[in-house]
Structure 1
Amino acid sequence: MTPTLTPQQRQEVNQALGQAQALLNGGQVQAALALCQRILAAVPGEPHTLHMLGLIAYGAGDRMAAVAHLRQACQSPNAPAMAFSNLTEMLRQQGELAEAEQAGRAAVAREPGFPGAWNNLGIVLQEMGKLEESRACLEKVVALEPSNAEAHNNLGNTFRRLGQFDLAQRHWQQALALRPNYPETFTNLANLFNEQGEYQKARECGQRALALNPQLLDAYVNLAATENALWQHEAALDWLNRLLALAPDHPAGLAARALTLKDLERLDEALADAERAVRNRPDSAEAASALGSVLLAHGRFDEAIAAYDRALALPSTLRERLLLARAMAYQENGRSDEALRLLDELVAEFPASVPGWHTRADIVKFKADDPAIGQMEALVGPGGVQSNADRMSMHFALGKAYLDTGDSAAALRHLDQGNAMKRAITVYDPDATHRWMESLAEAFPADVLGRFPGAGAASAMPIFVLGMPRSGTTLIEQILASHSQIAGAGELKAISLLIEQAGGMPQMLSGMTAERLTAMGEDYVARLAPLAQGKPHVVDKMPANFLHAGLIHLILPNARIIHARRDPVDTCLSCYSKLFGGEQAFTYDQAELGRFYRDYQALMAHWRSVLPASHFIEVDYENVVEDIEREARRMLEFLGLDWEPACLDFHQTKRPVRTSSVNQVRQPVYKTSAGRWRKHADHLGPLLAALGIDAS
């Protein structure tokens, strides 16, 4: 306990502290430290001196000692508000948010007019997800110091997390007006633009932030997020590697790199990063969440759920996102009832949760009197969600709901709005795409398959199921993966990654050798083998592999290719009704979608003419739903496998399914989706014209 000082003693202590501060300001740290220690020897527990010792330790990088000194200082009834405020920030940096909140509240109670204390408390409350309280604290700072750029920047962060994006942007712009070269504000704007799908603006702000401060670690994370959103995972990985070169144990950087490596299908490396992030910061919900996502990709469902539960138990602003991740994990693993229950709980707790409503819409079969439709309509009405990205997502969810109810006019009104918003921020050139797809066919004339004798990996493990998105690839994979000799790997990026590493198509074929083709095939098999679960065959059902069927046969001559086909208009309408997780840039305009489908048909006609029938077949979705056993037997005969009745009960097969069609393959085959476009034909004029189809 601090002894009571006489006025004379207090004056002497203050003079000594002034001398210590002067020494510290002059860079004489050791002399200042020695003087503080002499003060404490004379007056044990003197709080102002302990506070100064804490600041000295913090400046020297000894954060544990700094916190210990400040904790001791704050035990004194005479401790200054500044000591509590600095303890608040130091504890926040260590992730000890509950104690930081207590210290922050003590600081503002001691000195209600202290802006720095309100600021530090506001940031802690922000990170704990207590956003309305955070807003109130930071608004006090702005009221006390209207010209404080940092206060406007921090208040903008809280408004962003509250979903009030216009107010967030207003305060960030004010921060930049006060401090034009404020790197933290530029990286916050980058984060906002990422969320709104304005990726070019996000990239520009992130790069501006790093130009101003190359040590600003959050800017690297935001730039990586931009590249990942654009499916430029290698570019994202480069930003994260730069970050971790500066701060090897940065938990957010490790968590982000783990998720990027997962997207690159480098799952063992992803797991190592995620586990390291959790070891470094066991109190980080972000790290635990990343670990859950990576464990899920490894097929370790129970461990993934446990990681999500650990994350939910930690203070953070991630609760909505974590509840959604848990629900999606249950859905992917065939536990739809539990997934729907979790989503109902999510939207009850977060009524404006756009991801929650959007995901729920994919699972539910709506009826016309479903009250959820009105709740979703309110989110795109006056006073609803603000960001373009959220409004776009809700238009797609409502489009799906009205398709379910049979209200064509309402469905296509929402889908047209959602697709127009997505198209406005999507870079796509239909003329260039047409020329590129023609060049793929030209690069593989009939004789090219004989130019490289002996080329390619010998493995017969791969089975490719490819075609347009929404054409039945997931259904075919699920039927095949119900066979005891076949594992389903889902939509793998391996082929596109190999092509990207080799220089892109078709230019990579220039100077190609049999040895390089063989190496590519062996690389692919090495990526595929860990997903085999001990089975001799693995299905890769990435639809876009239809672009590279010729190359697939060159690098994997013993692989089998199954082309999934479906009615052109049903396929395109299904594409038009989906806001894809990845970039399907051709799907967001009816006329462009129809034109792409025609280009796809031309390319598939070419592959049909050059690939050997022994290794390439086509399966029509309509034939599968009409007679599943006949088509399943046909596919297994093509693959050289014996018949197994389990293929007819594909909807009961327990395996993760990560695709936009996950809900459909958890049900028996139904015929109502065949020819469904005709009831909506009056609203599909541009698509039908592009496809050359007369609906009359």
Structure 2
Amino acid sequence: MAREVSRARDLLSVGDVESCARAASLCGGVIAALPGHAEAHEIMGRCLQRLQRPMSAVEMFERAASIEPRNPVYLAAYASALAEVGEQDEAHEVWTRAAAVVAKKVRDPAARFDAELSASAAALTVGAFESAAERAGRLVDDEKLFHAASERDRAVLLGVRAEALTRSVRAGNEHEGGAAAAREAFDAAIAAVEPHGGASLAGVLAVEASYGLGIGRQEEAVGRLRSFAVQAGEAVVSEGKVSRLLEYACKVLGRAEEEAGDLRAAWHAYRVGNAAANGNGAIDAGPDWSASVHRETVGRLMRGMDAARVGGFARAPSGLADEAGVRPVFIVGVPRSGTSLVEQVVAAHPGAVGRGELQGVWNAARWLGERVNVSPTDETFMGELNEADLADRAARYLAGHARAADADAEAAPLRRAGTGTPTVVTDKMPNNFLNLHVIWQLFPGAKVVWCVRDPADACFSCWSTPFRGDLPYTRDLELMSAFHREHDRLRAFWTERGLLDVHVVRYESLVREPEVESRALLAFLGLDWDASVLEFWRKGRRVLTASSEQATRPIYAQSIGRAARFAMADEEIGELVSGLHTR
């Protein structure tokens, strides 16, 4: 078997699809004969990644790591694969294990630095700011490890530490040094990247501008961004390059200009930021995303739910949620339509837990698609699935909900008391409206809260927001409008079909009449009225989405009519914005 494994690794190194397929076949033979062969699982995982089967790859890395749980290579491969499919909580846990193994078994300082940096960054991603700051601080203080790293990696580490400290202070947590330590961390991070200028410096300053209010550095950071971020973005655009860091920096600057009342400067910063991320060589050139292809995809999704066929589709057993003691709720809508605000209201209830934007449904769909070799957006997809696979994915997803509920300070005591009432657990991934066919098959009886906002404001807010993930259609107003139209088409489809239990929340209504709308929302979810939901921000719950700043303070109305205010500021802007309602 050693010969087959060696040959498989050689084929993997060639890198083309045919060679990877042959390597996967060799590994499959080894695994069939020797199920405990960790290296064969690891190579198979890398082959599956190359073959665009990411969920199957995750399973292979998971098995390799379970066979040899103290192998740092397998743990790192598993953690990286989890992060690539958006399972950040699990990736954080595995990176933490990997760093501990590396610290005990590996002598190479550079390898130890890399593992600790990965664990620190993973902690920051999941909102474990104190842990990220502590881990990064220890690494900075370890001169041997710190100086073994490249200049770039040292700068990344300093940036992680500065952001973690600052966001911890902003969240109201006490730690050694407090705001002074955060300021010193930013000084060190800026000193590390300043000689290189450009995107790296802009990125660090943008983080400081975003979260630096609590440490007294926001205004200074905005001033420095104003001096060069847009010019650096324009240079990247003219060269036809791509820089997500400069997109972030320009949009942070744009928001600062908007809050200062200079809407023309804000508009220009937003435009340059989007162009820097599009990389098409011109300020007005759009991203590589096809509205017509998306429309065809939505059409396939609706045809897949044909009334004449739907009765024959397999579904997961209806009792799985009850067995887990949870009631899954999916909060969907166009991004920036109020999903974070709705989840904050629900999660403030003692009988509910908010889990934020989960990749669970998307990954369940991908896993199922890989099992039957059919894309989840194909109209034949639903008919290919079987109950056993659906039950497997549903149970896995619901187990995560149960763990979150058991760990929640308010929900856990109610669960231990054995009231028999399931805990409401929310998943507020907005674009799950494109996965409702999967949700229908996985979670019979699930509730859907559909958030709706004025189309012009929703589209404009998406266009001006630096999303963590890559949502190319948000970087062009015409394409964003096309995306919104298809959203409306799907919402009408699901509303008319009546296959899901759907409650619509209009953002403007929730802002203007929070108690009326909140009462209706809780009643829909089967929760008794609790006035504390109207003061959700007092719970101190962390929000890690693009709405983290807005959704952690009292409800405000300033975002209503935002697009119209820009339209009135400039004739050219008005022409581009005014048609967002009807495009």
TM-score normalised by L of structure 2: 0.70
Q: Is the 8 A contact 1:340 1:360 kept in 2?
A: no
Q: 2:508 aligns with which of 604, 622, 634?
A: 622
Q: Which position in structure 1 is the counterpart of 2:404?
A: 531
Q: Which position in structure 2 is the counterpart of 1:176?
A: none
Q: 1:505 aligns with which of 376, 393, 400?
A: 376
Distance 1:620 1:539 in 2: 18
Q: Which position in structure 1 is the counterpart of 2:87?
A: 265
Q: Which position in structure 2 is the counterpart of 1:420?
A: 275
Q: Is the 8 A contact 1:365 1:404 kept in 2?
A: no
Superposition pairs of residues 142-541 of structure 1, within 5 angstroms: 234=55, 254-255=75-76, 257-262=78-83, 264-265=86-87, 267=89, 271-281=93-103, 284-294=112-122, 302-315=130-143, 316=146, 317=154, 318-327=156-165, 330=168, 333=171, 344-351=183-190, 352=194, 353-363=201-211, 370-380=219-229, 388-389=242-243, 390-424=245-279, 427-446=288-307, 450-452=311-313, 455-458=316-319, 459=321, 461-503=327-369, 504-507=375-378, 508-532=381-405, 533=407, 534=412, 536-541=423-428
Distance 1:515 1:604 in 2: 29
Residues 343 and 404 of structure 1, relative CA distance in 2, 3 Å threshold: farther
> How far apart are residue 648 of structure 1 and its match?
1.1
> How far apart are residue 608 of structure 1 and its match?
1.3
Distance 2:54 2:260 in 1: 39
> How far apart are residue 287 of structure 1 and its match?
2.2
Cα deviations across residues 602-629 of structure 1 (Å, max 9, x unaligned)?
Answer: 111111112357x210101111111211
Residues 440 and 362 of structure 1, relative CA distance in 2, 3 Å threshold: farther
Q: Please give the root-mean-square deviation of Cα atoms over the aligned residues, in Å.
A: 4.2
Q: Is the 8 A contact 2:522 2:528 kept in 1?
A: yes
> How far apart are residue 662 of structure 1 and its match?
0.9
Q: Is the 8 A contact 2:368 2:389 kept in 1?
A: no
Match of 2:337, SS state, is coil
Match of 1:281, SS state, is helix
Amino acid in structure 1 at the alignment position of 2:226: E
Amino acid in structure 2 at the alignment position of 1:438: G
Q: Which position in structure 2 is the counterpart of 1:556?
A: 443
Distance 2:384 2:522 in 1: 37
Amino acid in structure 1 at the alignment position of 2:398: V
Q: 2:533 aligns with which of 636, 647, 651?
A: 647
Distance 2:125 2:186 in 1: 26
Residues 240 and 505 of structure 1, relative CA distance in 2, 3 Å threshold: closer
Residues 431 and 324 of structure 1, relative CA distance in 2, 3 Å threshold: farther
Residues 435 and 688 of structure 1, relative CA distance in 2, 3 Å threshold: farther
Match of 2:364, SS state, is helix
> How far apart are residue 412 of structure 1 and its match?
1.4
Q: Is the 8 A contact 2:242 2:278 kept in 1?
A: no
Cα deviations across residues 613-647 of structure 1 (Å, max 9, x unaligned)?
Answer: 7x210101111111211111111100111111221
Amino acid in structure 2 at the alignment position of 1:568: P
Distance 2:117 2:258 in 1: 34
> How far apart are residue 395 of structure 1 and its match?
1.9
> How far apart are residue 599 of structure 1 and its match?
1.1
> How far apart are residue 372 of structure 1 and its match?
3.7
Distance 1:266 1:383 in 2: 31
Match of 1:464, SS state, is strand
Q: 2:462 aligns with which of 571, 575, 587?
A: 575
Distance 1:578 1:265 in 2: 23
Name which one, 1 or 2, has greater alpha-carbon Rg.
1
Cα deviations across residues 150-207 of structure 1 (Å, max 9, x unaligned)?
Answer: xxxxxxxxxxxxxxxxxxxxxxxxxxxxxxxxxxxxx9xxxxxxxxxxxxxxx99xx9
Q: Is the 8 A contact 1:456 1:554 kept in 2?
A: no
Q: Which position in structure 1 is the counterpart of 2:520?
A: 634
Larger mean CA deviation between 531-540 and 630-639 belongs to 531-540
Match of 2:384, SS state, is coil
Superposition pairs of residues 76-87 of structure 1, within 5 angstroms: none
Match of 1:378, SS state, is helix
Distance 1:407 1:650 in 2: 32
Residues 630 and 248 of structure 1, relative CA distance in 2, 3 Å threshold: closer
Distance 1:266 1:411 in 2: 32
Residues 518 and 243 of structure 1, relative CA distance in 2, 3 Å threshold: closer
> How far apart are residue 324 of structure 1 and its match?
3.9
Larger mean CA deviation between 346-355 and 656-665 belongs to 346-355
Match of 2:450, SS state, is strand
Residues 340 and 441 of structure 1, relative CA distance in 2, 3 Å threshold: farther
Larger relative contact order (Cα-Cα within 8 Å, sequence gap ≥ 6): 2
> How far apart are residue 579 of structure 1 and its match?
2.0
| Structure 1 gaps, min length 5 | 1-186, 188-202, 208-219
> How far apart are residue 233 of structure 1 and its match?
5.8
Q: 1:664 aligns with which of 521, 546, 550?
A: 550
> How far apart are residue 590 of structure 1 and its match?
1.3
Q: Is the 8 A contact 1:482 1:647 kept in 2?
A: yes
> How far apart are residue 321 of structure 1 and its match?
2.7
Q: Percent identity over the alignment?
A: 25
Distance 1:485 1:587 in 2: 35
Q: Which position in structure 1 is the counterpart of 2:482?
A: 595
Residues 259 and 314 of structure 1, relative CA distance in 2, 3 Å threshold: farther
Residues 319 and 354 of structure 1, relative CA distance in 2, 3 Å threshold: same
Match of 1:563, SS state, is strand
Larger mean CA deviation between 456-465 and 645-654 belongs to 456-465
Distance 1:646 1:313 in 2: 43
> How far apart are residue 399 of structure 1 and its match?
1.6
Q: Which position in structure 1 is the counterpart of 2:420?
A: none
> How far apart are residue 556 of structure 1 and its match?
0.9
Match of 1:564, SS state, is strand
> How far apart are residue 293 of structure 1 and its match?
4.7
Distance 2:383 2:61 in 1: 33
Residues 509 and 406 of structure 1, relative CA distance in 2, 3 Å threshold: same
Distance 1:687 1:661 in 2: 22
